[in-house]
Amino acid sequence: MKRLLLALVLTASVATAGDTGINVPYTRFTLPNGLTVILHEDHTTPTVAVNVYYHVGSGREKPGRTGFAHLFEHIMYEGSGHVPEGKYDQWLEMAGGDNNGSTNSDRTNYWINIPSNALELALFVESDRMGYLLDAMSPAKVDGQRDVVKNERRQSYENRPYGMSSILVDENLYPDDHPYHWPTIGSMEDLSAASFDDVVQFFKRFYGPNNASLSVGGDIDPVKTRALIEKWFSDIPAGPPVPPPGAPVAFLGAEKRLVLEDKVQLPRLYMAWHSPAIFTPGDAELDIVANVLAGGKNSRLYKRLVYELQIAQDVSAYQGSAHLGSSFQIVSTARAGHTLAEVEKVITEELHRLLEEGVAQRELDRAVNQYEAGFLRRLESVGGFGGKVDQLNNYLTETGNPDYFNEDLARYRALSPGDVRSAAQTYLRGDNRVVLSVIPVGKPELASPARKEAK
């Protein structure tokens, strides 16, 4: 079938992450149709990983037309021009491979892990859905996957205890026209209203090779692999230019307090703040704040809420890093017989202590060590979510530099207690947050009261 071998030129570079530290050598080049390719050689095992990032997530959607990026994550497995429906998974599994994909607000990614002697099969099926998905897409197929996604929304959000909390928090954290205002899975109304032509136009706009990047690594011969990539991807025409994503500035200026009655047994408190975008100053600092507050049983909030006072059965905190701006969240579930007002009082005390006293050097060291251990553990894998091939593609997408391993880790190693305290003081203010109480139906007394934060 298809494909003429086109001449390639553009940039071809061989790079390493530095003479010391993490070393992930790679080759990078770009096909004439705009597809950026990264190759990484690792002969540890006779397997290869094929990883594609489409630079489109729910943040590329519009109000009234949400859920398209995630819908395509489903449609992409339903067959393409030269891959019959049901054969994508079957062929890969018969060759000993596995695959998966994910969608968030900023991008959609797909990966295949497969024995190295089946590399060409993986490249063929991946290229076919990039270039020829519409040849096999039909209104009936879109309707079928639309129903699957609507069921997923019911199971994961509408009918799951606390399931609507993340949607409610984001709707109140971001203005209506901000790309992070709506959930990745979309709204039920928008999913129902999407026409077949809407879906086709979305694919034509965002799924061209010039809005994607391909990362291939493992037991490969770079010269032969490049030839195979040219064979299968070069004749896919480029799509229209895709401008960088933009968004209105998101800020609150005042605290928002919300109460949601849900079919739950225990009340749960959500506190969310706007925070710096991924890889910008403050992002790593707030990762450390999250660890100090709720990263394990020695963290400040876990010790007080769960161990000592025994008024909560869990607590977590995290910096939800994203491209256009992030959110920092603390979540805690009260134990039976206790209210969210009790839980919030302790969280507020510990936040004030951190803002006034900062963090101890030993707490910072522990958090950085834990982060570094997890970072290095992910690099033990070549493929899958978070493996080296995935990381190369992610760094390319977020920073333009696939070889960002040492810079990423250096952000954490360079922090001082003063840096962490300063970021917390800047972003975790009482006038820049959403506080949501999720309570059992008919139990309003368990909610945290609507009052202003004490200074």
* pLDDT (tens digit per residue) in 191-208: 999 899 999 999 999 999
Residue 161 φ/ψ region, left for φ over 0, alpha for ψ in the -120 to 50 degree band, beta for the rest: beta
Mean pLDDT, residues 70-92 taken together: 95
Instruction: Provide the angle, in degrees to the nearest 10, between the axes of the packed helices 119-136 and 87-94.
Output: 170
Nearest to 120 by CA among 219, 31, 228, 45: 228
Lowest mean pLDDT among 126-140, 148-162, 285-299, 438-452: 438-452
pLDDT of residue 192: 92
C-alpha–C-alpha distance, residues 193 and 370, integer Å: 46
**What sign for the dihedral angle of Cα 227, 233, 236, 239?**
negative
pLDDT of residue 6: 35
Antiparallel, parallel or unpaired: β 47-54 and 36-41: unpaired
C-alpha–C-alpha distance, residues 22 and 405, integer Å: 7
* pLDDT (tens digit per residue) in 386-423: 999 999 999 999 999 999 999 999 999 999 999 999 99
Amino acid at 154: R
Backbone angles phi, psi at 37, to 5 degrees: -125, 135
pLDDT of residue 313: 97
Contact 172, 256 (CB under 8 A): yes
* pLDDT of 353 higher than 50: yes
pLDDT of residue 74: 93
C-alpha–C-alpha distance, residues 114 and 142, integer Å: 29
Mean pLDDT, residues 305-319 taken together: 98
The b/e string for 299-337 (b: 16+ C-beta within 10 A; e otherwise) is bbbbebbbeeeebbeebbbbbbbbbbbbbbbbbbbbbee
* Both structure tokens of 254: 């005042």
| More confident of the two residues 430 and 272 | 272
C-alpha–C-alpha distance, residues 429 and 273, integer Å: 8
pLDDT of residue 14: 40
> How many other CB atoms are there within 10 angstroms of residue 87's CB atom?
14
* pLDDT (tens digit per residue) in 155-179: 999 999 999 999 999 999 999 999 9
Amino acid at 244: P
Mean pLDDT, residues 25-44 taken together: 97
Find where tokens 């959000």 sit.
Answer: 157
Contact 219, 42 (CB under 8 A): yes
Amino acid at 211: N
* Both structure tokens of 244: 């960088």
Contact 284, 214 (CB under 8 A): no
SS (H, E, C) the chain: CCCCCCCCCCCCEEECCCCCCCCCCEEEEECCCCCEEEEEECCCCCEEEEEEEECCCHHHCECCECCHHHHHHHHCCCCECCECCCHHHHHHHHCCCEEEEEECCCCEEEEEEEEHHHHHHHHHHHHHHHHHHHHHCCHHHHHHHHHHHHHHHHHHHHCCCCCCHHHHHHHHHCCCCCCCCCCCCCCHHHHHHCCHHHHHHHHHHHCCHHHEEEEEEECCCHHHHHHHHHHHHCCCCCCCCCCCCCCCCCCCCCCEEEEEEECCCCCEEEEEEEECCCCCCCHHHHHHHHHHHHCCCCCHHHHHHHHHCCCEEEEEEEEECCCCCEEEEEEEEECCCCCHHHHHHHHHHHHHHHHHHCCCHHHHHHHHHHHHHHHHHHCCCCCCCCCHHHHHHHHHHHHCCCCCHHHHHHHHHCCCHHHHHHHHHHHCCCCCEEEEEEEECCCHHHCCCCCCCCC
- If pLDDT is split at 50, 70 and 90, which confidence band does 21 have? confident
Lowest mean pLDDT among 2-16, 77-91, 415-429: 2-16
- If pLDDT is split at 50, 70 and 90, which confidence band does 214 have? very high
Residues present in the chain in total? 455
Antiparallel, parallel or unpaired: β 98-103 and 47-54: unpaired
* pLDDT (tens digit per residue) in 413-454: 999 999 999 999 999 998 889 999 999 999 999 998 865 443
80, 420, 426 from 412: Cα distances, Å: 43, 10, 18
> Mean of the per-residue pLDDT values for the chain?
92
C-alpha–C-alpha distance, residues 49 and 116, integer Å: 9
* pLDDT of 2 higher than 70: no
Non-local (6+) Cβ contacts of 209 within 8 A are: 31, 33, 34, 35, 130, 131, 233, 236, 238, 239
